A and B are shown apart, each in its own frame.
Chain A
Amino acid sequence: MIAIGVKVGGSRTDAVALHEGAVIAKAVAPSLPGDPVRSLADAVRKLPAAHRAEAVQLSVGLNTAARAVMERQGLARVGVLRIGGAAVDAVPPGFGWPQALRRAVLADWENVDGGAGLTPALRTPLDRAAVTRFAERTRGRVQAYAVTGVFAPADGSQERESADLLGAEVPVVLSGEVAGLGLVERENATVLHAALSSLVARLADELTVAASTLTPRATVLVTRHDGTLAGLDYLRRQPGLTLGSGPASTIRGAALLAGLDDALVVDVGERRCRIGASTQGYPQEARAGERIGGVQVSLRFPELTVLTDPLHRLDELAEAVDSMQPGAEPLPVVLVGPRAAAVPDHALPGLRLLRPEHGEAAGAYGAAASLVGAGHERIFRPGDRSDPDGPHLDAVRDEVRELARAGAVRAGADPRSVDVRVDPELPVPYLPGAVLIRARAMGPPLPL
């Protein structure tokens, strides 16, 4: 079974072909500014035709979305619907955004009454009439909607209800499917997703066309920020899912190439270097505070330290690597990227260093070797006083597990072989008895 992975970077596009996880061919082409699909096609076309004909999977790492937000190019005009009313009007949508981005994206917004709580008893009824009025007011003036309801990651029913009222003429992105708790940051992330919908839809179309001749038998997938993959249909519904995916596929690819689950990864380029960590084969997530184009978002990007001009500042590199170590027992360090060889061994003393073959194409390798995945999380308070007959922890854990599984299947995974991992439950600070339940599901793509 042959899988092809591609990473379209700022200056170069790498492509690798894998057979049962081993690299059988690789190619590189210069990246063409503003034309990621042609860059991809140029690199893939250099792979042997026989491999392309046989490939069942084409996994693509794109930086188009991040670029579009940064440069404010090709963004859709978004109607922003918040559900929470007077309980959440202390900070309006788009607050604190850079002016130019706000002007480019925010067509109109409304905050309607409604919203969920930690338990069903705390739910406020949705003001359906207000949603309908907003739909009428914005019809024809917006190219996408972003809907953010209070506690939607725990209970997304009112977001789905609103989506029905907003209609099917333009894409509707629901916050509960985009990010976790933290209303403002989740809303920001949801609006950016919606803003990317037109561009990403075009990109998906172009990819489909390009793949039909380059790799006619292959399922086309894109990389996402947690080191997993998603199909193009899913990408259209979650247009921002590629944000943060570049470092993620590199970290995953580097760890796989080195044959390690837990390692630090140093991706060395000409002008800058990115240091991340692989935990059980997947990128370690940053805690919080990610920004895209000057906007605070609550997406779980890989934790990264970025250094400019690393080859002339090796002291800083050593210190940055050391401060990324998760404990006193240092993890081995995998050096990848086009300039990995330029970092001398003595720059990182006392550490096990690996420079795996094909490391310059670690991002493309990571894309080719990854699985389709999704995650789900929920805050739950067992035995809640206001809801004594409510569900028990085991039932909720099972539900979260199933929602993660369903998410992976929606993202394009083969339902027959999805593997679900439930993280150990974490206590929620200052909320006695409450736990955060998280599950991640992944599996190979459905061969269709």
Chain B
Amino acid sequence: MHLDTDALASLARGCAVLGSGGGGPAAPMIPLVEAALGECGPVALVHPADLPADALVMPVGMVGSSAVGAERIGGRAEPARLRDRVEQQRGGPVAAVMASEIGGQNGCLALAFAARCGLPLLDADSMGRAYPLMHQNVLELAGIRPGPTLVADERGRTVVVDHVDGPHLEHLVRAAVDALGGRAVCSDYPLTAGQAADSAVLGTVSLALRLGAGELPEPLLTGKVTAVQRHGAAAVSVLVDGLGPDSGRLLRVEARSEFVAAVAEGRALALVPDVIALLDARTGEAVDVEDVRYGLRVRVLALPAPPIWYTPAGLALGGPEAFGLSGLVREEVRA
């Protein structure tokens, strides 16, 4: 299968759904990817098992502020330069690009990088959704080491971070991005196609395309946002009051950098690592946490995350406790 500009709108919509309200806005990435595909042609979407097990895979994602990223939009030479640096570090050719985070903007960015590098894109990623911290990914759970991680700005200024554990990676990369002025592209958790086949979340680009084309689960509730309470900078509570067939039902959606819980009558109908998306009922587009406002008509959806996120180790890294949510139990019976 090849990805071209026709697939792009669906991909962006689907990535926004998988962003669970975070991961940076996907829609502004469309011109960047469209230009790359227009210049370099369609990109092959491949399964990791289609590649030799020792073939090198380059994960890629943007780190920093999306406001700065909207200003420093990136260069045509940036993807190939990052690939060259990765090859220098790894001592061999890169065979494919993979999104480090399918949710939000990074799911789209990886396609632009694949196009400009002339490489296939893996139908996989390292999270299966969006998470705020770099080491909140399934490669970390699989014991794959974060380094050497490359952090580069669009002029090629590059920082190599190595011999660190996951949490420490986050600190060092944030410091590097800060010094680079708030925006960088990062290739972390270097891996082979074999490791990707065993440990990455598989099929997530296809999943995003299907979600973006409208193959969505039944909503938990369709209604109107009747309150948005911000508790400090990080925490938001959203009340959604049911409309139409859902009239009389009330859902409280808790958010941090992503939507993390959907609670009705004291029970969590969905709870992180579940993906929770609020779709604007008028446009069908997923709404970011920071864009939720009173009066918006939304459909609240939940999708299960990859199974590994529900193991004890997965929950410790990316479950409710990781977001400071306690006392919530996920409703086990869910269609």
Are B74 and A88 in contact, CB atoms less than 8 angstroms apart? yes
Q: Is there a chain B Cβ closer than 8 Å to A257's Cβ?
A: no
User: What's the dominant secondary structure at chain A's contact region?
Assistant: loop
Measured in the bound complex, the distance between the Cα atoms of B281 and A322 in whole Å is 14
Measured in the bound complex, the distance between the Cα atoms of B65 and A88 in whole Å is 16
Are B297 and A183 in contact, CB atoms less than 8 angstroms apart? no
Measured in the bound complex, the distance between the Cα atoms of B233 and A182 in whole Å is 23
Q: Which residue of A lies closest to B180 (CB)?
A: A122
Closest beta carbon of chain B to A340's beta carbon, Å = 22
Closest beta carbon of chain B to A8's beta carbon, Å = 31
Measured in the bound complex, the distance between the Cα atoms of B224 and A323 in whole Å is 8
Among the stretches A29-37, A235-243, A325-333, the one at the interface with B is A325-333
Are B75 and A90 in contact, CB atoms less than 8 angstroms apart? yes
Among B70, B73, B74, B296, the residue within 8 A (CB) of A323 is B296
Among B31, B70, B178, the residue within 8 A (CB) of A385 is B178
Are B67 and A379 in contact, CB atoms less than 8 angstroms apart? yes
Are A88 and B73 in contact, CB atoms less than 8 angstroms apart? yes
Measured in the bound complex, the distance between the Cα atoms of B65 and A431 in whole Å is 5
Chain B 45-88: CB-based contact to A (< 8 A → 1; otherwise 0)? 00000000000000000001111101111111110000000000
| Contact flag A86-B182 (CB < 8 Å), given A151-B71, A428-B67, A431-B67 | no
| Contact flag A90-B112 (CB < 8 Å), given A151-B71, A431-B182 | yes
Among A287, A322, A385, the residue within 8 A (CB) of B179 is A385
Among A122, A184, A324, A326, the residue within 8 A (CB) of B73 is A184
Among A84, A124, A184, the residue within 8 A (CB) of B31 is A184
Among B68, B73, B76, B295, the residue within 8 A (CB) of A325 is B295
B residues less than 8 Å from A115 (CB atoms): 72
Measured in the bound complex, the distance between the Cα atoms of B178 and A428 in whole Å is 13
A residues less than 8 Å from B34 (CB atoms): 95-96
Q: Is there a chain A Cβ closer than 8 Å to B160's Cβ?
A: no
Closest beta carbon of chain B to A113's beta carbon, Å = 10
Q: Which residue of B lies closest to A430 (CB)?
A: B65
Are B65 and A182 in contact, CB atoms less than 8 angstroms apart? no
A residues less than 8 Å from B68 (CB atoms): 118, 428, 431
Measured in the bound complex, the distance between the Cα atoms of B182 and A118 in whole Å is 8
Q: Is there a chain B Cβ closer than 8 Å to A150's Cβ?
A: yes
B residues less than 8 Å from A386 (CB atoms): 179
Cβ < 8 Å to B, chain A residues 412-437: 427-432, 434
Chain A 195-235: CB-based contact to B (< 8 A → 1; otherwise 0)? 00000000000000000000000000000000000000000
A residues less than 8 Å from B297 (CB atoms): 319, 323
Among A91, A122, A324, A429, the residue within 8 A (CB) of B181 is A122
Are A150 and B71 in contact, CB atoms less than 8 angstroms apart? yes
Chain B 166-179: CB-based contact to A (< 8 A → 1; otherwise 0)? 00000000100011
B residues less than 8 Å from A87 (CB atoms): 72, 74-75, 153-155
Chain B interface, number of residues (Cβ within 8 angstroms) = 41
| Contact flag A326-B67 (CB < 8 Å), given A90-B76, A386-B179 | no
Are A324 and B295 in contact, CB atoms less than 8 angstroms apart? yes
Measured in the bound complex, the distance between the Cα atoms of B71 and A119 in whole Å is 14
Are B179 and A323 in contact, CB atoms less than 8 angstroms apart? no
Q: Is there a chain B Cβ closer than 8 Å to A345's Cβ?
A: no
Cβ < 8 Å to B, chain A residues 235-270: none
Q: Is there a chain B Cβ closer than 8 Å to A89's Cβ?
A: yes
Chain A 175-188: CB-based contact to B (< 8 A → 1; otherwise 0)? 00000011111000
Chain A 70-111: CB-based contact to B (< 8 A → 1; otherwise 0)? 000000000000001011111110011000000000000000
Are B294 and A327 in contact, CB atoms less than 8 angstroms apart? yes
Q: Which residue of B lies closest to A323 (CB)?
A: B295
B residues less than 8 Å from A327 (CB atoms): 294
Are B75 and A86 in contact, CB atoms less than 8 angstroms apart? yes
Q: Which residue of A lies closest to B62 (CB)?
A: A430
Chain A 134-162: CB-based contact to B (< 8 A → 1; otherwise 0)? 00000000000000001100000000000
Q: Is there a chain A Cβ closer than 8 Å to B161's Cβ?
A: no
Measured in the bound complex, the distance between the Cα atoms of B265 and A52 in whole Å is 66
Q: Which residue of A lies closest to B290 (CB)?
A: A429
Among B24, B66, B78, B178, the residue within 8 A (CB) of A90 is B78
Cβ < 8 Å to A, chain B residues 108-144: 112
Instruction: State the 7 A-B residue pairs at the shortest beta-carbon distance, nearest first.
Output: A431-B65, A323-B295, A430-B65, A87-B154, A90-B74, A182-B70, A122-B181
Between-chain CB contacts (< 8 Å), 13 pairs: A87-B155, A90-B32, A90-B76, A91-B35, A118-B181, A184-B73, A325-B295, A427-B233, A428-B67, A430-B66, A431-B65, A432-B178, A434-B182
Report which B residues bind A (CB closer than 8 A). Answer: 24, 28, 31-32, 34-36, 64-68, 70-78, 112, 153-155, 174, 178-179, 181-182, 224, 226-227, 233, 290-291, 293-297
Known: A87-B72, A95-B35. 15 other contacts (CB 8 A): A84-B72, A86-B77, A87-B154, A95-B34, A117-B181, A183-B71, A183-B73, A325-B294, A326-B293, A326-B295, A428-B68, A429-B290, A430-B64, A430-B65, A430-B182
